[in-house]
């Protein structure tokens, strides 16, 4: 198990690397994270929902994603409530207080342990991932995902620290020393992640860290520039809020407050013909060549906010000026004539008019649609997946009208045929750019191998195998 000194220290990416390394070495690994909190999710082949990070890790293992890899998924609705997804199906909304109280935890604990046992009976090794900080003392008695899960699995634990944010000595020492004596014994190594500069400058620091923590440092992993591995949450979006670039197709993604599945745009972002950025400014939207409304966990709340801040009017104006507008999932719903929530699925807003760019009406429903799909586009068979609450009266999987495209399909823009059509067939970009992007799956495979090579070079993998094989 990889646990962290805090959130966003790189646990997910390092787990992905280990999944691919173990696969390369002839083993049959599988990922596992008992509980994940993220709005980036993925539909499994059997139509269930798990965190995107575990789907990526499964892909690194060359496995189909399964709910046993992430039995509990928390999808925040707001600052105060979250949707709880158990074994791929929503079981209701909970406040933080309701979710983390001790009552009812045994049922969830039993479910995650059963999921782990099913995986353990099929694969070896299991690459487990913790969540957030491993030393949240106030949550220890209700914790499902960190050291209690490691104890149940009898897992060896590696502590991951982010040196780029500073405080690596204090965070590592505190994370180790705040454990119970039994849990402290489980921590067999430290990985210092996100290093910048000359590695030899940390040689003395490495020895000092081992001395104060009493745990070997298995590796110091430098930043890997340009790594195109899907992110787990929206922290990475702060680095993508650049703006206009001359000579490229400028694509503005509206940065919704409850944005979800923004990995929908990773393939398009990597296309050298495009400059894709996230924005909250109406001026950026009106200048862009293509405007995208992404998915959201709270469609009505985000639509209400877009109207208040002027972004809704900017999208409509961009369309009138001949810009292409694309809506994915919740963004698709916003492009229609109306959105109704008669049962209060999302909250207190019962109905809002949409932007009126597509002839659809949407009714939000408690039942969630999760499925993998295929569709035809411009003579090619394409694929993706749906995760949404709500039914729209669209007659086709992809709706197109006068330069406006809407669909429930996540991964719509991962398909080369769609990207080519969007960049070359929209009137204002026609004939301006040539060439077909690389096959997305082949690109991902190369990225997993590049990540594995990087981690293998900087982490003592033979020592890790020694730790794992020790009784």
Residues identified as active-site = 329, 410
Is-contact 411 377, C-beta < 8 A?
A: no
Closest C-alpha to 219, from 192, 186, 187 = 192
Alpha-carbon distance values, 12 to 52, 67, 166 (Å): 10, 17, 20
Q: According to the 3-state scheme, what is the secondary structure of the chain?
A: CEEECCCCCCHHHHHHHHHHHHHHCCCECEEECCEEECCCEEECCCCCEEEHHHHHHHHHCCCCCCHHHCCEEEEECCCCEEEEEECCEEEEEEEHHHHHCCCCHHHHHHHHHHHHHHHHCCCECEEEEEEEECCCHHHHHHCCCCHHHHHHHCCCEEEEEEHHHCCHHHHHHHHHHCCCHHHHHHEEEEEEEEECCCHHHHHHHHHHHHHHHCCCEEEEEECCCCCCCCCCCHHHHHHHCCCCCCCCEEEEEECCCCEECHHHHHHHHHCCCEEEEEECCHHHHHHCCEEEECEECCHHHHHHHHHHHCHHHHHHHHHHCCCEEEEECHHHHHCCCEEECCCCCCCCCCEEECCCCCCCEEEEEEEEEEEEEEEEECCEEEEEEEEEEEEECCCCCEEEECCEEEECCECHHHCHHHHHHHHHHCHHHCCCCCCCCCCHHHHHHHHHHHHHHHHHHHECHHHHHHHHHCC
- Interatomic CA distance for residues 415 and 417, integer angstroms: 5
- Interatomic CA distance for residues 43 and 46, integer angstroms: 8
- Interatomic CA distance for residues 443 and 267, integer angstroms: 9
Which structure tokens are listed for 160?
Answer: 């991951």
Residue 125, preceding bond cis, omega within 30 degrees?
yes
Is-contact 147 179, C-beta < 8 A?
A: yes
């Amino acid at each position: 198990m990889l646990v962290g000194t805090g959130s966003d220290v790189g646990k997910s990416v390092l787990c992905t690397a280990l999944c691919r390394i173990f696969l390369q070495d002839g083993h049959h690994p599988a990922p596992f994270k008992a509980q994940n909190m993220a709005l980036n999710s993925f539909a499994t082949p059997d139509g269930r929902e798990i965190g995107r990070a575990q789907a990526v890790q499964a892909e690194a293992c060359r496995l189909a994603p399964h709910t046993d890899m992430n039995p509990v998924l928390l999808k925040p609705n707001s600052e105060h409530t979250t949707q709880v997804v158990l074994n791929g199906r929503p079981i209701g909304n909970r406040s933080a207080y309701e979710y983390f109280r001790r009552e009812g935890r045994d049922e969830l604990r039993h479910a995650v342990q059963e999921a782990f046992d099913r995986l353990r009976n099929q694969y070896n090794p299991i690459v487990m991932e913790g969540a957030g900080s491993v030393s949240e003392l106030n949550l220890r008695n209700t914790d499902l995902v960190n050291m209690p899960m490691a104890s149940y699995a009898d897992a060896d634990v590696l502590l991951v620290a982010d040196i780029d944010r500073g405080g690596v000595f204090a965070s590592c020492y505190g994370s180790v020393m705040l454990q119970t004596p039994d849990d402290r014994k489980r921590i067999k190594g430290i990985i210092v992640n996100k290093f910048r500069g000359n590695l030899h400058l940390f040689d003395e620091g490495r020895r000092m860290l081992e001395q104060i923590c009493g745990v070997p440092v298995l590796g110091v992993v430098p930043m890997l520039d340009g790594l195109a591995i899907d992110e787990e949450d929206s922290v990475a979006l702060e680095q993508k809020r650049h703006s206009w670039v001359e000579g490229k197709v400028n694509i503005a993604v509206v940065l919704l407050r409850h944005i979800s599945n923004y990995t929908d745009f990773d393939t398009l972002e990597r296309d050298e013909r495009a400059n894709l950025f996230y924005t909250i400014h109406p001026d950026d939207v009106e200048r862009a060549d293509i405007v995208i409304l992404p998915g959201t966990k709270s469609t009505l709340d985000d639509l209400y906010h877009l109207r208040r801040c002027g972004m809704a009017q900017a999208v409509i104006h961009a369309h009138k000026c001949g810009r292409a507008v694309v809506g994915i999932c919740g963004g698709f719903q916003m492009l229609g004539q109306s959105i109704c929530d008669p049962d209060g699925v999302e909250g207190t807003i019962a109905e809002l008019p949409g932007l009126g760019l597509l002839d659809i009406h949407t009714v939000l429903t408690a039942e969630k649609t999760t499925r993998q799909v295929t569709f035809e586009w411009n003579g090619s068979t394409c694929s993706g997946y749906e995760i949404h609450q709500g039914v729209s009266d669209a007659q086709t999987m992809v709706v197109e009208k006068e330069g406006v495209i809407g669909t429930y399909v996540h991964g719509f823009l991962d398909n080369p045929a769609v990207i080519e059509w969007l960049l070359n067939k929209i009137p204002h970009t026609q004939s301006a750019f040539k060439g077909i992007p690389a096959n997305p799956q082949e690109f991902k495979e190369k990225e997993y191998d590049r990540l594995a090579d990087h981690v293998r070079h900087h982490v003592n993998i033979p020592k890790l195998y020694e730790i794992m094989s020790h009784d």
